[in-house]
Amino acid sequence: MTFPDLSSAPARRVRGGIRFAGLALVVALSAAACRTADAPPITLAVVNARVWTGDSTAPWAEAVAIADDRIVAVGTTADIRAQAGSARIVDAAGGLVTPGFIDSHVHFTDGGFALASVKLRDANSKAEFIRRIGDFAKTLPKGTWIRSGDWDHTLWGGELPTHDWIDSVTPDNPVWINRLDGHMNLANALAMRAAGVDRTTRDVAGGSIVRDAAGNPTGVFKDNAMGLVDRAQPARSAAEADIALDSAMGYVAARGVTSVHHMGGFGDVATFRRAHAAGRLRTRIVAQVPLSQWAALRDSVQAHGRGDVWLRIGGLKGFVDGSLGSHTAAMLAPFTDAPTDSGLFVTPPDSLYAWTKGADAAGLQVMVHAIGDKAIRTQLDIFERVAKEHGPRDRRFRIEHAQHIAPADIPRFGALGVLPSMQPYHEADDGRWAERVIGPERSQGTYAFRALLDSGARLAFGSDWFVAPPTPLEGIKAAVTRQTLDGKHPDGWVPAQKISVEDALRAYTRGAAYAGFQDRDVGMLRAGMLADLVLLDRDITSVAPETIDQAQVKLTVVGGKVVYEKK
């Protein structure tokens, strides 16, 4: 199907707001709530709320009115009730209403597939890891591949699993399960046999095959080496992908997420287009495809446009390096716990430059995964070079994750207008062990939320689901408290990088909308914007920060329609 081209739509530049109080607030709200006689009838209103609008001109309100898919008024409860007519009225009972959360980095269909697979994220021993895989295998037909998993070897002391652990409990099912960061997978013997991998298989540039003392593959494959087994697994059917998408949309709606920025491929785009054509989309999707395929995306955009407010296509995702947990992040100095190893480049810098230059010349948005300080510097250099060569335009370059930044490079984000697209839950997770890998000094530039904001950069927050849970409330808590999942940093890991609740809300709404070229339609609660909002059972700006994740999502609205309601 053909979508209208939104590439020339003007961008709205925004800045953070302040709280209004007293009479000035009342006047502003009353004015915002005024509507003309020929305005469309209100279909849904939320009243008696603490409304954080994200709009710096009127940041706080009491009620929101919706007509069809747009917000028509933001104001006082009295004004909105007076105009609501026969509309459904939701009494928020003092709960917090915010713009719908935007998850700026997900692997959406993979997350949907993972919902139906073996759950290994919290398996905290070798025995538990093996038991869960064996129990799951018993539920499957012979020959069915076991995928996803999200295992974390740090939970049982750091020993990497091997195929020997699980071969006996999976004699009839190939196993190809990922570490939670997506940069390391484990295959059982059956999967390696299907892939034709043995001791004679050569290593792969930008990746590694973990081997035992005799040179035999242990079953663990890192980064580009994962492609050796990827190619052997059966493709998902269209019907399976459709079910995964439906599952993913329902899952994130229950967590207040109304838009996602998906990192995937053209096959995922086909899945999204099927759902859009059938009217099944309940989550707005901004879809990216691999940076190496920029020419194909250029041709697709020229033929079909960039999409609409439900499905936007026009972004490209590349990789500089791997991950810290897999020791494949590209670092300027060796890892503290591996003095001869400083990580790797998943993509050679000359390819990253050529692809970025080609994509930018075609008017496409480029976002690149960079975790290590060397990787981040490399991609900042490339972005700066390409921007100078092509001249000014609204390009919104992004660095995905931007986790371990050299101090000298933090100001470059604001100066260059490069958007740090970050996942604060990773800070709470990685903070358990990161100092063992890079030491305390380099950790000071890790997940540098405060320093990046102070540099003038716009933060965009997300989850990296399936890698981490798509739960903005947990992300907000992590950004505000910087407490780690193991409870060992009650005052925060690298506490200087804490930010306020409103800073974090902005990164999950206006900042993420800007990062996806969605900012003229979503990210704020203001008359004329699309009616995407979430209702929480409490005001997280006034509770103890360590309790933010205890808040409950009561209602999620997308385009004026309730897509989740807590019973």
Alpha carbons 294 and 381: distance in angstroms, whole number: 20
Widest distance between CA atoms in the chain: 81
Q: Does some domain include residue 553?
A: yes
SS3 221: strand
CA angle in degrees (0–180, nearest 5) for 183-184-190: 140
CATH number of the structural domain spanning residue 1:
2.30.40.10
Q: Does some domain include residue 105?
A: no
Q: Determine the residue type at 10.
A: P
- Asked whether residue 152 falls in the same domain as residue 274, the answer is no
Alpha carbons 396 and 387: distance in angstroms, whole number: 11
- Asked whether residue 286 falls in the same domain as residue 370, the answer is yes
Alpha carbons 549 and 469: distance in angstroms, whole number: 12
CATH number of the structural domain spanning residue 384:
3.20.20.140
Answer for the pair 67, 41: CB distance below 8 angstroms, yes or no.
yes
Alpha carbons 303 and 172: distance in angstroms, whole number: 46
- Asked whether residue 422 falls in the same domain as residue 561, the answer is no
* Domain-terminating residue out of 521, 538, 555: 521
Q: At which residue do the structure tokens 């060569």 appear?
A: 389
pTM over 0.95: no
- Asked whether residue 196 falls in the same domain as residue 157, the answer is yes
Q: How far apart are the first and last CA of the chain?
A: 37
Answer for the pair 226, 208: CB distance below 8 angstroms, yes or no.
no
The domain of 514 spans 238-521
Q: Give the model's pLDDT for residue 14.
A: 32
Alpha carbons 319 and 374: distance in angstroms, whole number: 13
The neighbour count for residue 12, using CB atoms within 10 Å, is: 13
Q: Which is nearest to 276 in space by CA: 307, 305, 251? A: 307
- Asked whether residue 421 falls in the same domain as residue 343, the answer is yes
- Asked whether residue 535 falls in the same domain as residue 560, the answer is yes
SS3 427: helix
Q: Does some domain include residue 242?
A: yes
Q: Does some domain include residue 310?
A: yes
- Bridge partners, 50 (sequence order): 96
Q: Give the model's pLDDT for residue 9.
A: 36
Q: Give the model's pLDDT for residue 35.
A: 59
Q: Give the model's pLDDT for residue 31.
A: 39
CA distances to 45, 100, 532 from 564, in Å: 16, 12, 12
**345-369: b (≥16 Cβ within 10 Å) or e:** bbbeeeebbebbbbbbebbbbbbbb
Alpha carbons 113 and 7: distance in angstroms, whole number: 32
Alpha carbons 145 and 37: distance in angstroms, whole number: 61
Q: Does some domain include residue 109?
A: no
CATH number of the structural domain spanning residue 182:
3.10.310.70
- Asked whether residue 32 falls in the same domain as residue 54, the answer is yes
| H or E element that contains 236 | none
Q: Determine the residue type at 310.
A: W
What angle separates helix 266-277 from helix 238-253, to the nearest 10 degrees? Answer: 70
The torsion angle over the Cα atoms of residues 480, 485, 486 and 490, rounded to 10 degrees, is 10
- Asked whether residue 205 falls in the same domain as residue 323, the answer is no
* Omega within 30 of 0 (cis) for the link into 466: yes
Q: At which residue do the structure tokens 């909308």 appear?
A: 513
Phi, psi values for residue 474, rounded to 5°: -65, -35
Q: Does some domain include residue 107?
A: no
Alpha carbons 102 and 47: distance in angstroms, whole number: 23
- Asked whether residue 1 falls in the same domain as residue 76, the answer is yes
Indicate the number of domains in the chain: 3
The neighbour count for residue 538, using CB atoms within 10 Å, is: 18
Alpha carbons 70 and 60: distance in angstroms, whole number: 19
Structure tokens at 46: 């939320």
pLDDT 10s digit of each residue in the chain, 567 long? Answer: 333 333 333 333 332 333 333 323 333 444 344 556 677 899 999 999 999 999 999 999 999 999 999 999 999 999 999 999 999 999 999 999 999 999 999 999 999 998 988 899 899 999 999 999 999 999 989 999 999 898 999 999 999 999 999 999 999 999 999 998 888 999 999 999 999 999 999 999 999 999 999 999 999 999 999 999 999 999 889 998 999 999 999 999 999 999 999 999 999 999 999 999 999 999 999 999 999 999 999 999 999 999 999 999 989 999 999 999 889 999 999 999 999 999 999 999 999 999 999 999 999 999 999 999 999 999 999 999 999 999 999 999 999 999 999 999 999 999 999 999 999 999 999 999 999 999 999 999 999 999 999 999 999 999 999 889 999 999 999 999 999 999 999 999 999 999 999 999 999 999 999 999 999 999 999 999 999 999 999 999 999 999 999 999 999 999 999 999 998
Q: Which is nearest to 30 in space by CA: 78, 71, 66? A: 78
Classify burial at 22, counting beta carbons within 10 Å of its beta carbon; exposed 0-12, middle 13-18, buried 19 or more.
Answer: exposed
The neighbour count for residue 422, using CB atoms within 10 Å, is: 28
* Domain-terminating residue out of 210, 230, 250: 230
* Domain-terminating residue out of 503, 521, 539: 521
Q: Does some domain include residue 546?
A: yes
CA distances to 124, 529, 549 from 158, in Å: 11, 48, 28
- Asked whether residue 145 falls in the same domain as residue 190, the answer is yes
Answer for the pair 112, 102: CB distance below 8 angstroms, yes or no.
no
- Asked whether residue 369 falls in the same domain as residue 407, the answer is yes
Q: Does some domain include residue 26?
A: yes
What totals of helices (H) and strands (E) does the chain contain, helices first? 19, 23
- Asked whether residue 394 falls in the same domain as residue 416, the answer is yes
Structure tokens at 434: 């990161």
